[in-house]
Amino acid sequence: MQNVTEKKEFTPNIVAFCCNWCSYAGADLAGSSRLSYPANVKIIRVPCSCRVNPSFILKAYQQGADGVILCGCHPGDCHYVTGNYYTRRRMSLLFSFLNYMGIEKERTRVEWVSAAEGARFSAVMNDFVQKITELGENKRLTDLRVKEGE
């Protein structure tokens, strides 16, 4: 029996948006290659990284996510030809803006992971979890109401 008074270690809550064609498949490959990454990384499948609306990211933070990572095909390899080019511009501006509002720069990230890069997917997630763990809990973009009662 563990000592219940022991302070619970911070395990960040991570949401990963993955495009169906590259990154989600990359995550599948990481799985079939048994390349582990922490269980607190949870994936939402979207057709293309360009489907990810900034409001989804903010919603995740509001609902208690500590880090949000967006994964898509490598630029130039987008299944939908140009989708991730738009993602790239949107997210460059959004992340810079969030940082301008005082939100930690590292909390949000974009990574291009191809369907063949299972190892990279796992490495990226491990690295991201470590960075967010170092950064600590998301306190600046969270909604106090959500975590009430915890």
Partner 1 sequence: MFKIAKERLNELYSKIAETFGLFIPIKKGGEVNYHVWGEGKEVSLETLKTVKSPKNAFFPQSENLMKFKTEGKNLEIIDVRWDKTEKPFVMFGVKACDYKAIEVLDKVFLADPVDTYYQSRREATTIVTLACSRPEESCFCNAFGIDATAPQGDVTTWLDGENLYWQANTQKGEALTAAVKELLTEGGEEKVEAQKASTKAIMEKLPFASLDLSRFKPENLNELFEDPAWESMSEACLGCGTCTFVCPTCQCFDIRDFKTNEGVIRYRCWDSCMYSDFTLMAHGNSRTTQMQRFRQRFMHKLVYYPSQNDGLYSCVGCGRCVNKCPQKLNIVKVIKTLGGKNND
Partner 2 sequence: MRDVELKMKERASELLKSGEVARVIGWKKGEFYHDPQPASFESVEELNAFVYNGFCGANLSKYLIQMSKKEGKTAIFLKPCDSYSFNQLVKEHRIVRENIHVIAIECQGKLDIEKIKAKGFDFVTEVEENGDEIAVASLYGNGAVQKDEVLLGKCETCKGKVHQVKDEEIILHEMQAGKKNRFEEVEKLEAMTEDERFAFWREQLQKCIRCNACRNVCPACSCLKCVFDNPASGIAAKANDDKFEEQLFHIIRAFHVSGRCTDCGECSRVCPQNIPLHLLNRKFIKDIDGLYGEYQAGETAEGKTPLTSYTEGDAEPNDVVNGEVR
Partner 3 sequence: MQRIGVFICWCGSNIAATVDVEKVAEVIKSEPGVVYSVNYQYMCSENGQQLIKNAIKEHNLTGIVVGACSPRMHEATFRKAAESVGLNPYMVEIANIREHCSWIHKDMAEATEKAIILVRTAIAKVKLNAPLTAGESPVVKRALVIGGGIAGIQAALDIADAGFEVDIVEKNATIGGRMAQLDKTFPTLDCSACILTPKMVDCAQHEKIDILSYSEIEDVKGFVGNFSVKIRRKARYVDETKCTGCKICMEKCPSKKGLNDFNMNLNTRPAIHIPFAQAIPNVAVIDPAQCIKLKTGKCGICQKFCGVGAIDYEQKDTFIERQYGAIVVATGFKPISLDAFNEYGYTENKDVITSLELERLMNAAGPSNGVLVRPSDGQHPKVITFIQCVGSRDTSGCGKPYCSKICCMYTAKHAMLIREKYPDTEVHVFYIDVRTPGKNYDEFFRRAVEQYGVDYIKGMVGKVYNENGKLMVQGSNLIDNEQVTIESDLVVLAAAIEPEPSVRKVATLLTASIDTNNFLTESHAKLRPVESPTAGVYLAGVCQGPKDIPETVSQASACAAKVIGLLVKDKLKTNPCVATPDEMMCNGCSQCANVCAYGAITYVDKEFRLGGGKTEVRRVASVNPAVCQGCGACTVTCPSGAMDLKGFSSKQIMSEVEAICKM
C-alpha atoms less than 13 angstroms from C-alpha of 1 in its C-beta half-sphere: 3
Name the binder of 95 from partner 2, partner 3, partner 1, none, CB < 5-8 A by kind: partner 2
Residue 118, classed as helix, strand or coil, is helix
Q: Does the protein bind partner 2 through residue 39 (CB under 8 A)?
A: no
C-alpha atoms less than 13 angstroms from C-alpha of 79 in its C-beta half-sphere: 20
Cα three-residue angle 44-140-142, rounded to 5 degrees: 50
Select from 9-17, 25-33, 35-43, 91-99 the region that touches partner 2 (CB under 8 A): 91-99
What does the alpha-carbon distance between residue 39 and residue 13 come to, in Å, rounded to a whole number? 9
Name the binder of 25 from partner 3, partner 2, partner 1, none, CB < 5-8 A by kind: partner 3
Name the binder of 142 from partner 1, partner 2, partner 3, none, CB < 5-8 A by kind: partner 2
Q: Does the protein bind partner 2 through residue 136 (CB under 8 A)?
A: no
* Burial grade of 70 (CB within 10 A; 0-12, 13-18, 19 or more): buried
Interface residues with partner 3 (CB under 8 A) are 13, 15, 20, 24-25, 27-28, 30-32, 34-37, 39-40, 42-48, 50-56, 59-60, 63-65, 77, 79-83, 86, 90, 122
Interface residues with partner 1 (CB under 8 A) are 63-64, 145-150
